[in-house]
Chains A and B, each alone.
Chain A
Amino acid sequence: MARIVIVGNGMVSYKLCEKLVEKNSSASITVIGEEPRPAYDRVHLSAYFEDENADKLTMAPKDWYNGNGINLITSEKVSQINREEQYVTTHTNAKYEYDYLVLATGSSAFVPPIKGVEKKGVFVYRTIEDLEMMMAYGKKASSAAVLGGGLLGLEAAKAAIDMNLKTSVVEFAPRLMPRQIDEEGGLLLKNKMEDLGIDILLGKATSNIEGEEEMTGMAFSDGTSLDVDMLIISAGIRPRDELGKEAGLEVAERGGFVVNSLMQTSDEKIFAVGECASYENMIYGLVAPGYDMAEVVAEQIANDNKEYTFTGCDMSTKLKLIGVDVASFGDPFCDNIPHYPISINDKKNGIYKRINVDLEGKKLLGGILIGDADDYNMLHQMFINEMALPPHPQDLIIKSSGEEGGAGMGVDALPDTAQVCSCENVSKGDICCSIKDDGVTDINGIKAATKAGTGCGGCLPMVNNILEDTLASMGTVVRKEICEHFPYTRQEMFDLIKVNEIKSYTELLEKYGSGGGCETCKPLVGSLLASIWNDLILKESTIQDTNDRFLANIQKGGSYSVVPRIPGGEITPDKLIVIGEVAKEFDLYTKITGGQRIDLFGARLNDLPLIWERLVDAGFESGHAYGKSLRTVKSCVGSTWCRFGLHDSVGFAIEVENRYKGLRSPHKLKGGVSGCIRECAEARGKDFGIIATEKGWNLYVGGNGGANPKHAVLLAGDIDKETVIKYLDRYLMFYIKTAEPLQRTAPWQEKLEGGIDYLKQVICEDSLGIGEQLENDMKILIAHYTCEWKAAINDPEMRKRFTHFSNDDSHDPTQKFKRERGQRFPVAW
Chain B
Amino acid sequence: MTFEHNTLDQVTTWVKAGHVSDFPEDGGSSILYKDQQIAVFNFTTINKWFATQNLCPHKKQMILARGIIGTQGEEQTPKVACPYHKKTFSLETGENLNGCEDSITTFPIKIEDDTVFVGLVEEK
Contacts and interface: CB of A to CB of B under 8 A. Distances in A.
A807 B45 contact: no
A516 B24 contact: no
Interface string A793-807: 000000001011111
A516 B32 contact: no
B109 to A, nearest CB: 14
Contacts of B17: 806-807
Interface stretch (A409-417, A489-497, A542-550): A542-550
Interface residues of A, number: 37
A15 B43 CA distance: 60
Nearest to B17: A807
B contact face: mostly helix, strand, loop, or mixed: strand
Contacts of A814: 37, 62
A545 B68 contact: yes
A522 interface: yes
Contacts of B67: 519, 546
Interface string A548-574: 011000101110000000000000000
A541 B27 CA distance: 9
A829 interface: yes
B16 to A, nearest CB: 8
B84 A554 contact: yes
B31 A805 contact: yes
Contacts of B43: 516
B83 A829 contact: no
Contacts of B79: 518
B68 A542 contact: yes
B32 to A, nearest CB: 4
A11 to B, nearest CB: 43
A506 interface: yes
B26 A506 contact: yes
B70 A516 contact: yes
Given A506-B45, A806-B18, A516 B71 contact: yes
B124 interface: no
A507 B16 CA distance: 32
A541 B35 CA distance: 28
A272 B68 CA distance: 70
B23 interface: yes
Given A516-B76, A546-B83, A806 B68 contact: no
B38 to A, nearest CB: 10
B45 A517 contact: yes
Contacts of B59: 829
Interface in A615-648: none
A404 interface: no
Given A806-B22, A814-B62, A515 B71 contact: yes
Given A804-B30, A805-B30, A806-B30, A516 B23 contact: no
B52 to A, nearest CB: 15
A92 interface: no
B46 interface: yes
B29 interface: yes
B70 A517 contact: yes
Contacts of A516: 43, 45-46, 69-71, 76, 78
Contacts of B45: 506, 509, 516-517
Contact of A518 (B18, B22, B70): B70
Interface string B7-34: 0000000000110001111111111100
B27 A518 contact: no
A815 B37 CA distance: 13
Contacts of A522: 68, 70
A67 B78 CA distance: 55
Nearest to A510: B45
Interface string A35-63: 00000000000000000000000000000
Given A517-B45, A519-B67, A545-B68, A484 B86 contact: no
Contacts of A521: 70
Contacts of B62: 558, 804, 812, 814-815
Interface in B46-72: 46, 59-63, 66-72
B88 interface: yes
Contact of B25 (A485, A542, A550, A803): A542
A810 interface: yes
A805 B68 contact: no
A813 interface: yes
A544 B81 CA distance: 12
Nearest to A519: B81
A523 interface: yes
B84 A813 contact: no
Given A519-B81, A554-B84, A808 B71 contact: no
Given A541-B27, A806-B31, A829-B60, A518 B84 contact: no
B99 interface: no
Contacts of A546: 63, 66-67, 83
17 contacts: A506-B26, A515-B71, A515-B76, A516-B43, A516-B45, A517-B71, A518-B79, A519-B70, A521-B70, A541-B24, A541-B27, A554-B83, A805-B30, A806-B31, A807-B17, A810-B32, A814-B37
Given A517-B45, A518-B79, 16 more contacts: A484-B72, A515-B71, A516-B76, A518-B81, A519-B67, A523-B68, A542-B26, A542-B68, A545-B68, A804-B62, A805-B32, A807-B22, A808-B31, A812-B62, A814-B62, A829-B60
Interface of B: 17-18, 22-32, 35, 37, 40, 43, 45-46, 59-63, 66-73, 76, 78-79, 81, 83-84, 86, 88
Interface of A: 484-485, 506, 509, 515-519, 521-523, 541-546, 549-550, 554, 556-558, 801, 803-808, 810, 812-815, 829
